[in-house]
Chain A
Amino acid sequence: MTKSDNDIVRMKGIDISFPGVHALEDVDFTLRKGEIHALLGENGAGKSTLIKVLTGVEHQDKGTITIDGKEVTIKSPQHAQELGISTVYQEINLCPNLTVAENIMIGRAPMKFGSIDWATTNNQARQLLKALDVDIDVTQTLGSYSVAIQQMAAIARALEISSARILILDEPTSSLTTHETEQLFGVMRKLKSEGMAIIFITHFLDQVYEIADRITVLRNGKMVGTYDAAELPRLELIAKMIGRTLNELDDMTKLKLESSKLIKSEALLDAKGIGRTDSIEPFDLELHAGEVVGLAGLLGSGRTEIAQLLFGIERPDRGSITMDGAEIENFSPIESIERGVALCPEDRKAEGIMGDLTVRENIILAMQASRGWIKYLSLSEQYEIADKYIELLNIVTPSPDQLVKNLSGGNQQKVILARWLATNPRLLILDEPTRGIDVGTKAEIQKLVLSLAEEGKSCMFISSELEEVLRTSHRIVVLRDKEKVTEFSGEVAERNIMQLMAGSE
C-alpha cells in the first residue's frame, strides 16, 4: 500500500480475541482525509469490533494504530474523541424528550451568570445544524422530528464534541426513507469536501456504490481487502463478502434431487400480496409439502420479516394467507402452532432459548403451550420426548436436566429445533438456524432439513450464507431491500442469484 500523506488513520495488523472467538485477525485498515470509506461484511465479520478498537471501547491484543503519523494507544472512548474520532451509532443515543438544542449542546452549553445561556445555546445549535443544511426550530423536542433529522442532530452533536476529523457512521440509513437517505448523503458529501474522513457501515450495497470512495471488506474476522469502489464490480464484492466456494455435486445435492420428486403439487400455504408497511413490500409465496424453500438476501433485505409474518409475530396489513384452503384471520404464535407452523427465530438468545430452564423444559415448551395449561405432560412423558430428540438431533448434554445456558451455541440451537419438531409441524420456518455454530453441526442441520422435507414437511430455510441456501433448497426466493425480487425453481446458477441480490449490474 502506498504511504500517502493523506492517510489520517492507519491500523496495522490488528488482532483481537474474545473468549472462544478470534474476532479480528491481522487486519489492516487505512482511512484518508476527505474520503468516504465503506466497511462491509456479513454479520460477525468483525466490522463492529474494528470500530470498537478505533473508538477505544476494546483494545487490540496485537497491532498498531497511527493517527496523523503518530502511533497512539486509544485508551477510552473519551480519548478517542479527544483524538478527533466521533461516532454516530445505529441506535440514536439521544434523548427524544429534550429539545434539539439541548441534545446537541448538552454538557457543553455556554453559561451566563451561573446558569445556561439559552439564547447562545440555541443559536450555536442552529448554526451547527445550518452547517449541515438543516434549518429547523431547535427549541422543539427532538422526538417531534423525523428519524433523519434526529440522525442529523446526532451528527451535529458528534461534530460539536471534538471538532471531529474522523466520523464513523454505523448503519445510519437502516431506518431512513429514500429521501432522508439522500439528505444524509448530501451532508456526508459536504463534510467530505471539507476534508472529513468518514467510515460508513451499511448493508445496502446500492448506497455503497452511490457514496463510497473506497471499500474494505472483512469476513470472519479476516481482512479480505481494500478496493476502490469504482474498480470493484458489485458481483465481485458480494462474492468477497460471503466468501462462497462453488461446490460440485455432493451428497446433499443428490439427496436434494431425489427428494424433489416427493414435493406435493398443491400448496400447503398460499400467501397472496401480503406485506406490512415499513417492514416488507407485498409479495406472493406458495409453500408445498415436501419442499425446502430458501430465502436468499443480504441482512435487512426482509428475510426475517417474512418469517415473522408467516408465523404471526407480526400481522400483515395487506394481502391474505391461505392455509389448507382456508384464509387465516387470527395471527399469533399460538394460533400458528395450532395450524402446524413453527418458527426457529433468528435471535437465539432473545427469542429462542430459556437459559435458566432445563433442556427438557425447553424442548417440551411449545408442545405444552399448544396442549394448554391443564393437559400437563407427565414427567415421564417429558423425559421420553426430551430423550428422543436429544438422541435424534445428537444434542450434547450431560442430562436432560441440564440448564440450557450451559450448553454450547450449536447445542442450544438444536434444543430449539427439538422444541419445534416436538410440535410436529407441517411448515417449519428456520431463520438463520446455523448462525454462529460450527461447521459440523451446520452440515447436520442442513441434512436434517432435507430429511424433514422428505418426511413431507414444508421447510423454509433462511440464511446469510448463500452457499448454504443453495445446498439445501429446492426453490429459492430472492429478496432485496425489503422486496421479493424473484424466485428460482430447481438448479440455478449461483451467479444469477448473486446478481439479483446485488441489484442490476
Chain B
Amino acid sequence: MRQPKKSSFEWRKVTESRLFFPIVALSLVLLFDLAFVRGFFAIEVRDGNLYGNVIDILRSGSTVILLALGMTLVIATGGVDLSVGAVMAIAASIAALMMNPYVMAKELPENLQKLVNDPNFTYAPLWAVLLVTLIVSALCGLWNGILVAYAKIQPMVGTLILMIAGRGIAQLITNGIRIQIFYEPYAFIGNGWVILPFPLYIVIAVFTLLWLFTRKTSIGLFIESVGVNARSSYFSGIDEKKIKLLAYTLCGLFAGMAGVLASANIKTSDANNIGWALELDAILAVVIGGTLMSGGRFSLLASVIGALVMQATTTSMYAIGVPANAVLAVKGVVVILVLLLYSEQVRGFVRRITVQKKGV
C-alpha cells in the first residue's frame, strides 16, 4: 500500500477496514468467554504440546476455515457452492477405501484379516491416497464450475445437484459401509500435535499459498472484477468463465482437504455425517468476513476470522455446558448479531460516533 500522507492514527480508517467488524465479532465472543467461562483461556503444556479451549477452537475450526477460503473465492465471483459438505464426504470415502479396501470384502483370508485393523497398514501409499482424493475433489469443483460458468445454471441450483448427489456418490464408493480408519499416519493429519495441532499447519500453508496466488498475481483482481460486473470484465478482456471455473475448482479442492481433515479426526469415513451442513457454516463465515453475497471485494483473512467466530461460538457453548442441540440455535443468534453489526444503519451510527470523537 502507498504510505498514508498523515501518519496519525485515524479512527475512521480503522472502522472502515475490512477486518474491523469480523474482529469486533470475534472479540465479543471471546469477551463472553472471559466473563462467563472460568479458565477458558488456560493453556496446558503436555509432552511439549499445547492444549486448551483456544487451541481447540483453532483445531476444530480448521475444517471450516478451509471451506471458507474456497467459498470466499466462489462468493466473490457472485456465486455460491452448496456442495462442499458433500465433497468432503466423497473425499473421506475415497481416502478410506484406498487405505483399506479389504473392509469391503465379505470374507477375508486369515492373513488379510489382521491387516484390517493394523495401524501401520495402508493399501495405497499415503501420498497416493491424498493425491487421488484431492484430484477427485478438484474435479467435483470443476464440475460445479462447468455447470455455473458454461452451462449458465444459477450457482445455487447448479451446486445443489452435487450437494444432493454427492452423499449418494460417497455411499456408493464405500458400498454404504462406514469404513473405520486405523492407519495412524493418516489419522495424524487430523488429530496429530506438533506443539500446535497439525491441522493448523495445513491451514496456515493453504492460506499463505492462496493469499500469494490471489494477491501477488492478478487473479484476485480478476475475481473481484468478475464479481462486481461480469459483463464489463468480459469487455475488458477478462475471461469471466475461466475465472469462475477456477474459483469453483479451488473450492472443491479445499473441500477435499477439509474432508481429509474431518475423516482423519474421527477416524472413519462417515458418508452421512462428514461435512453435514458445513456448507452453511462456510457461507456464514464468508458473510461475517464481509464479502457480499452479490460478489466483488473479498478478504481471505476476514473470512478466516469469520470461520473462527463460528467455531468459537460452538466451543464456548460446549464449554458452558449448552446441550449440542441448543448450540445450533445459539449460533443463529450470534450470526444475527454479527449481521446487525454490518447493516448500513449500524455502520453509519458507528461512523457518526467515531467522527465525533475525532472532532473533540
Q: Which chain A residues have a beta carbon within 8 Å of chain B's beta carbons?
A: 313, 333-334, 336-337, 343, 345, 350-357, 361, 365-366, 368-377, 379, 383, 401, 419
Contact = CB atoms under 8 A, between A and B. Distances in A.
Interface of B: 1-2, 216-219, 221-222, 224-225, 228-229, 231-239, 296-297
Nearest to A313: B235
B232 A351 contact: yes
17 contacts: A333-B235, A334-B239, A350-B229, A350-B231, A353-B229, A354-B232, A355-B228, A356-B228, A356-B297, A361-B224, A365-B236, A368-B222, A370-B237, A371-B218, A373-B218, A373-B219, A376-B217
A401 B222 CA distance: 17
A351 B225 CA distance: 12
Contact of A352 (B232, B237, B239): B232
A333 B234 contact: yes
Given A353-B232, A376-B216, A376-B218, A337 B224 contact: no
A383 B237 CA distance: 21
Contact of B233 (A336, A354, A370, A377): A354
B232 A369 contact: no
Contact of B225 (A365, A371, A375): A365
A337 B237 contact: yes
A334 B237 CA distance: 4
Nearest to A400: B2
A376 B217 CA distance: 5
Nearest to A355: B228
A158 B2 CA distance: 60
A370 B218 CA distance: 11
B229 A366 contact: no
Nearest to A333: B237
B217 A373 contact: yes
B218 A366 contact: no
Contacts of B222: 368-369, 373
B344 to A, nearest CB: 15
A293 to B, nearest CB: 21
Contact of A419 (B218, B231, B236): B236
A333 B234 CA distance: 7
B235 A354 contact: no
Contact of B228 (A357, A373, A374): A357
A355 B221 contact: no
Given A334-B239, A361-B225, A379-B1, A368 B218 contact: yes
A345 B235 contact: yes
A299 B232 CA distance: 22
Contacts of B232: 350-354
B2 A379 contact: yes
B221 A368 contact: yes
Nearest to B227: A356
B31 to A, nearest CB: 32
Of B1, B233, B237, B297, which is in contact with the most chain A CB atoms at under 10 Å from its CB?
B237
Contacts of B217: 373-374, 376
B197 to A, nearest CB: 34
Given A336-B237, A356-B224, A356-B296, 5 more contacts: A337-B237, A354-B225, A369-B236, A376-B221, A377-B218
B217 to A, nearest CB: 5
A333 B218 CA distance: 18
Given A354-B233, A379-B1, A383-B2, A369 B228 contact: no
B201 to A, nearest CB: 27
Nearest to B224: A357
Of B216, B222, B229, B296, which is in contact with the most chain A CB atoms at under 10 Å from its CB?
B229
B50 to A, nearest CB: 37
A379 B2 CA distance: 8
Given A366-B237, A369-B236, A355 B1 contact: no
Contacts of A334: 237-239
Nearest to B238: A369
Nearest to A368: B218
